[in-house]
Structure 1
């Protein structure tokens, strides 16, 4: 099972963020800060195990197949309703 990491911002992080927000920085310093924060967030990402990945993939594929069936049935039903209401255009020719 994948390890669980709790994302709890500490008071230090909040204080540093406020101080950095108050200090006006150059555009390059802001970009560097953004990149550091992105890297920090990416370190928190937990990748799924092989078993979890296969389970998630199976669920998504089954859901997609079911939704395709529902949309196909609705398309067939609405096209039959349109032909019933307006008639078959190939007969009029």
Structure 2
């Protein structure tokens, strides 16, 4: 009868899953895991950073040019339709 009367928490703890922890313990565990993950971050070299920056600036300029072109087309289309 003792096997049938064990609670789910006791079965979970015996199966290798930890019992529910308190708020502070979970917060400390979360912070430790964040710090561990931040240690795995590989920072780019100076040359990689310059390359990535150049790619972003070029892409933004292309998108900006596309939007300006669309603006010009729509402006002329509206002027033609409204006869201004």
Same fold (TM over 0.5): yes
In structure 1, runs of 5+ residues without a counterpart are 1-17, 89-93
Structure possessing the higher radius of gyration over alpha carbons: 2
- For residues 62 and 47 of structure 2, what CA distance do their matches in structure 1 show? 23
- Greater than 6 Å deviation, 4+ residue runs: none
Aligned to 2:35: 39
Measured against aligned partners, the alpha-carbon deviations of 1:52-85 in whole angstroms (never above 9, x if no partner) come to: 0000001100111111100000011011111111
Structure 2 gaps of 5+ residues are 1-15
Q: CA shift at 1:87, angstroms?
A: 2.3
Residue 62 in structure 1 maps to residue 63 in structure 2:
no
Q: Distance in 2 between matches of 1:47 and 1:77?
A: 43
Q: TM-score normalized by structure 1?
A: 0.69
Please give the root-mean-square deviation of Cα atoms over the aligned residues, in Å: 1.3
- Provide the secondary structure at the position in 1 that maps to 2:43: coil
**1:86 maps onto 2:69 in alignment:** no
Higher relative contact order (Cα pairs below 8 Å, separated by 6+ residues): 1
TM-score, L = length of structure 2: 0.76
